[in-house]
Amino acid sequence: MGLNFEYLEGQTPIDEEEKLGLKVPIVSVKRELDEFEQKNIEDAMLWSLSNRWEARTVFSTEFLKKVHKQMFKQVWSWAGQYRMTNKNIGVEYWKVASEAKQLIDDAHHWYEYNVYVRLELAIRFKHRLVSIHCFPNGNGRHSRLMADIIMSHVYKQPVFTWGSRSSLPASEIRSTYIRALKQADRGEFGPLIEFAES
Ligand SMILES: Nc1ncnc2c1ncn2[C@@H]1O[C@H](COP(=O)(O)OP(=O)(O)OP(=O)(O)O)[C@@H](O)[C@H]1O
Ligand SMILES: [Mg+2]
């Protein structure tokens, strides 16, 4: 299709084969794609606000896929389906299903036994999820919405702000986010929690 997008720091490029799954009218620049996706994601947020989900629903692999599908189904035919190719981030594609299941099982345990305080559970879940990288694209946004759903639906708490209250330029906010993810890769979750609340 010859689409050549530019990506921000830490974004996963979309493969040629995955581009064939585009459902919206020809998009030539990444910004147009971002707008279609943004509209879809806003609809998904409204959908999440009009529902009530309990922990045993939220912490399931079916729900993970359902949320991704709801966020991207207007734009991509593979919305809600685990990826079939390897990416520069994430586990080998054939391990996605088992790693996602393992995360869900761990999250049940964390929740049931109050292993972590609420904020930390939501952020650890978000970080493990984006590290697995379940889908061809949209993993960052999906993981952030999942953390928000954990806060609002499971714990009845306000959602995260994800850097939106910061007065720094967008590129610096992005760098702070990526740096915090890398610190979380090393088991240090404070900076990512701080970013999510900024
Ligand atoms: N070193 C890293 N460790 C863990 N996660 C990372 C790392 N680098 C990037 N990421 C995550 O991968 C995401 C990019 O993946 P992908 O392109 O699938 O998501 P996206 O929703 O399209 O992007 P974005 O989150 O930028 O809106 C980043 O947002 C970030 O959350
Ligand atoms: Mg992306």
Question: Does position 1 have pLDDT exceeding 70, yes or no?
Answer: no
Domain ranges of the chain: 16-160
Q: Which fold has domain 16-160?
A: Fic-like fold (1.10.3290)
Torsion over CA: 27, 29, 30, 35 (sign) = negative
69-123, pLDDT tens digit by residue?
999 999 999 999 999 999 999 999 999 999 999 999 999 999 999 999 999 999 9
Residue nearest to atom 10 of ligand 1 (CA): 10
Residue of 128, 160, 181 with the most ligand 1 atoms within 8 Å of its CB, for mutation: 181
pTM of the full structure:
0.94
Q: Identify whether the C-beta of residue 125 lies closer than 8 Å to the C-beta of residue 103.
A: yes
State which ligand 1 atom lies nearest to the alpha carbon of 142: 21
Closest ligand to the CA of 185 = 1
* CB crowding 76-100: b at 16 or more within 10 Å, else e: bebbbebbeeebeebbebeebeebb
